[in-house]
């Protein structure tokens, strides 16, 4: 079967907008846009702080991927599980992470959720269903699948778990094992692939040979969707519907979004290897700018409102940074360095 036909079959198997009103509406779009803006501006701030030598460890940002990421966070609700990756600042905020939690982690504040002791993107609040990242390369898929199985054993109902993966991460064993387990157990897992064309500097031509990663859905017997990751409206609609299909018992959902990483792998990387033609093509468009244009054209927001949202986001960021900078770092003399996690060693417990 040609890739084109296969995609059509997969999409026919997976009705989108006709099933439920999970897609586009004015309020949801405006809210999603504000999270994207806050994500973009806060990550720009972290990148500047990193260049000024104020941040320990790496800074990895989601520039160009905010539309996809925010659609995941905003489509989930309390009781669901979200395991974000390194490009998911927008999704984290939309799922409920406070900007202060994020900023405290970057600035090594002892009052942050990881008590200033873990990598900047390795933060979470597991008790709230928001998992701390183990690895960007697939480890979260079996982790979420296992958590969903545990919820089922406990008799919980109506829950969904979502996690993300990059194009490079789809080549790992963990991707296969996690998705296969979820398919066999028909778990409500939403797996969102951000095909941003590079895994560090490795292009997708050295990563897989299928025309579109969504073809993998058929191999696992799960529903799959292929979409334009630069379009906020499309992301909200497709991700929203996939979450609802998973919630109503249709098993794992594989979403493959095509977009481009609009920067380096991390702030230490100048991304000189990114193909100029790709940058100039449709996949290289900036989802935030496209969403802003869409808002204005549809009259879902005014220029004055956009300016106000931007100013409000900048104020929040300045406040969070000022607060986190005043706070203490971890103190090796006060900390209990036992390697095994115990209840009192997680989620912001302080050892004073
Ligand atoms: C086992 C292992 N090898 C290498 C790395 C370093 N590493 C982290 S992310 C990454 C590339 C991931 O590429 P992709 O899955 O396409 O995601 P993207 O960075 O594009 O979002 C690499 C090589 C790692 N974290 N773990
Ligand atoms: Mg990639």
- List the domain boundaries for the chain: 3-325
For range 157-162, the mean pLDDT? 98
Q: Report the atom number in ligand 1 closest to the C-alpha of 265.
A: 19
SS3 content of the chain, % helix, strand, coil (to 5): 50, 10, 45
* Any atom of ligand 1 within 6 Å of the Cβ of 166: yes
Q: Report the atom number in ligand 1 closest to the C-alpha of 195.
A: 16
Mean pLDDT, rounded, of the chain: 91
Contact 237/23 with Cβ under 8 angstroms? Answer: yes
Closest CA to 326 of 117, 125, 41, 103: 103
pLDDT of residue 79 exceeding 80, the answer is yes
Please state the length of the chain. 352
Q: How many CB atoms lie within 10 A of CB 11?
A: 17
The pTM of this model reads: 0.92
Assigned token pair, 247: 């919630």
Query: Which residue has a Cα nearest atom 19 of ligand 1?
Result: 199
Contact 76/162 with Cβ under 8 angstroms? Answer: yes
Closest CA to 291 of 25, 36, 88: 36
pLDDT in tens, 125-146: 998 999 999 999 999 999 999 9
pLDDT in tens, 231-263: 999 999 999 999 999 999 999 999 999 999 999
Confidence category of residue 342, pLDDT binned at 50, 70, 90? low
CATH superfamily of the 3-325 domain: Thiamin diphosphate (ThDP)-binding fold, Pyr/PP domains (3.40.50.970)
Give the pLDDT score at 55. 96
pLDDT of residue 172 exceeding 50, the answer is yes
DSSP 40-62: HHHHHHHHHHHHTT---S-----
pLDDT in tens, 99-130: 999 999 999 999 999 888 888 999 999 989 99
Q: Report the atom number in ligand 1 closest to the C-alpha of 60.
A: 19
User: What share of the chain has pLDDT > 70, as a percent?
Assistant: 89
Query: Which residue has a Cα nearest atom 3 of ligand 1?
Result: 137
DSSP summary character for residue 23: S
* Any atom of ligand 1 within 6 Å of the Cβ of 88: no
Query: Which residue has a Cα nearest atom 1 of ligand 1?
Result: 137
Range list of H helices, the chain: 3-13, 26-51, 66-75, 89-95, 99-106, 140-153, 173-184, 216-220, 232-247, 276-280, 287-297, 303-326
Query: Which residue has a Cα nearest atom 17 of ligand 1?
Result: 166
What span, in angstroms and rounded, lies between the C-alpha atoms of 102 and 124?
9
Closest CA to 247 of 129, 148, 154, 160: 160
Q: How many CB atoms lie within 10 A of CB 179?
A: 26
What span, in angstroms and rounded, lies between the C-alpha atoms of 83 and 135?
10
């Amino acid at each position: 079967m040609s890739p084109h036909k296969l995609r059509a079959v997969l999409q026919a198997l997976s009705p989108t907008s006709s099933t439920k009103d999970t897609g586009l509406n004015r309020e949801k779009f405006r809210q999603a846009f504000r999270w994207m803006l806050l994500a973009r501006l806060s990550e720009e701030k972290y990148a500047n702080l990193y260049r000024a030598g104020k941040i320990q460890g790496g800074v990895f940002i989601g520039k160009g991927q905010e539309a996809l990421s925010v659609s995941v966070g905003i489509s989930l609700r309390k009781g669901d599980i979200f395991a974000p990756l390194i490009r998911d600042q927008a999704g984290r905020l939309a799922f409920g992470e406070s900007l202060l939690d994020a900023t405290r982690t970057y600035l090594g504040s002892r009052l942050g959720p990881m008590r200033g002791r873990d990598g900047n993107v390795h933060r979470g609040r597991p008790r709230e269903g928001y998992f701390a990242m183990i690895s960007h390369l697939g480890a979260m898929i079996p982790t979420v699948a296992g958590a969903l199985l545990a919820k089922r054993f406990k008799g919980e109902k109506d829950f969904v778990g979502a996690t993300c993966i990059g194009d490079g991460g789809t080549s790992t064993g963990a991707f296969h094992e996690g998705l296969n387990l979820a398919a066999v157990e028909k778990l409500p897992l939403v797996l969102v692939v951000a095909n941003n064309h590079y895994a560090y500097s490795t292009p997708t031509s050295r990563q897989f040979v299928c025309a579109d990663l969504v073809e993998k859905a058929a191999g696992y017997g799960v529903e799959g969707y292929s979409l334009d990751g630069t379009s906020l409206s499309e992301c909200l609609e497709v991700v929203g519907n996939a979450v609802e299909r998973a919630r109503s018992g249709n098993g794992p959902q594989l979403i493959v979004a095509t977009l481009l990483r609009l920067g380096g792998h991390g702030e230490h990387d100048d991304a000189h290897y990114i193909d100029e033609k790709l940058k100039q093509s449709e996949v290289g468009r900036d989802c935030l700018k496209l969403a802003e244009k869409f808002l204005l054209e549809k009259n879902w927001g005014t220029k004055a409102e956009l300016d106000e949202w931007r100013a409000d986001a900048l104020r929040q960021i300045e406040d969070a940074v000022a607060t986190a900078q005043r706070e203490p770092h971890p103190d090796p003399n006060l900390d209990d360095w036992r390697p095994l996690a115990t209840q009192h060693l997680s989620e912001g417990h302080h050892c004073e």
